[in-house]
């Protein structure tokens, strides 16, 4: 490489670095880690029975933040992780966790009775409330939130269910504010719940 070319390379790189140096601060990060719906619309109501022995009425939880998810008690992978994460978030929020209500609706009404769901959910957090009902009621609930589920038959005759695994975040006013995709950590939920509990 001759001297002129070398000098031009060095000068070019120096100029580029000089131009690049005064970097502005990076753009602000999004407020919530969950996906945010805007404008906020009322969360669809559920016509189901609750595992607490009453009809499951989401409007009864106005003033609290509701975390709504769908699953089933025989789920081997997704549901235990989701429920353990939500229980961990409530625990980490300490006193503020009292204003967080987890509602878990079954996608397996053939096997999930109210008693079965109650026992299952209590193994994670005794305050969790399950939603159960007939196949038609569950189908309607799934449709109103855009939940899909597919029954997969095993060779031994048993079955498992593949299902949407996001968690719906309903604010204190009953608005469907955000949707947290599956796979987020306890800290991510705590982060978002602190924001939702402030508003």
Partner 1 sequence: MNRRAWGFVAALPPLVALGWAGFAPIELPTRDKLFEIPKGTYARRMAGDRVDILPSRITLTLGVDDVLLLRNLDEVPQQFGPTILMPGQSFRLPFERESENQFDCTAHTSGTMTVIVEAEPEWPWQKVRWRWRHWFQEG
List interacting residues with partner 1 (CB under 8 A). Answer: 2, 4-5, 7-9, 11-13, 15-17, 19-20, 23-24, 26-27, 29-30, 32-33, 35-39, 41, 145-148, 164, 166, 168, 179, 181
Closest contact distance (angstroms) between CB of 145 and partner 1 is: 7
Return d(Cα 168, Cα 26) in angstroms, integer: 30
Q: Give phi and psi for 56, each to the nearest 5.
A: -85, 105
Nearest residue to 181 via CA among 36, 6, 72:
36
Residue closer to partner 1, measured from CB, 36 or 140: 36
Residue closer to partner 1, measured from CB, 150 or 158: 150
User: Are the C-beta atoms of 151 and 161 separated by less than 8 Å?
Assistant: yes
Closest contact distance (angstroms) between CB of 78 and partner 1 is: 13
Residue closer to partner 1, measured from CB, 33 or 118: 33
Give the number of other CB atoms < 10 A from CB of residue 45: 13
């Amino acid at each position: 490489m001759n001297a002129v070319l070398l000098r031009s390379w060095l000068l070019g790189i120096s100029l580029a670095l000089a131009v690049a140096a005064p970097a502005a601060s990076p753009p602000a990060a999004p407020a919530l880690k969950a996906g945010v719906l805007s404008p906020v619309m009322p969360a669809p109501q559920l016509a189901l029975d609750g595992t607490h022995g009453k009809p499951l009425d989401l409007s009864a939880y106005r003033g609290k933040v509701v975390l709504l998810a769908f699953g089933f008690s025989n789920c081997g992978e997704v549901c235990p992780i989701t429920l353990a994460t939500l229980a961990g978030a409530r625990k980490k929020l300490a006193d503020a966790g009292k204003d967080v209500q987890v509602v878990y609706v079954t996608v397996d009404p053939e096997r999930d009775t109210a008693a079965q769901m109650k026992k299952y959910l209590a193994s994670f957090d005794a305050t969790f409330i399950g939603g159960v009902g007939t196949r038609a009621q569950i189908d309607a609930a799934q449709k109103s939130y855009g939940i899909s589920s597919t029954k997969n038959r095993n060779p031994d005759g048993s079955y498992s269910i593949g299902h949407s695994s996001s968690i719906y975040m309903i604010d204190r006013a009953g608005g469907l504010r955000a949707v947290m995709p599956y796979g987020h950590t306890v800290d991510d939920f705590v982060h978002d719940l602190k924001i939702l509990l402030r508003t």
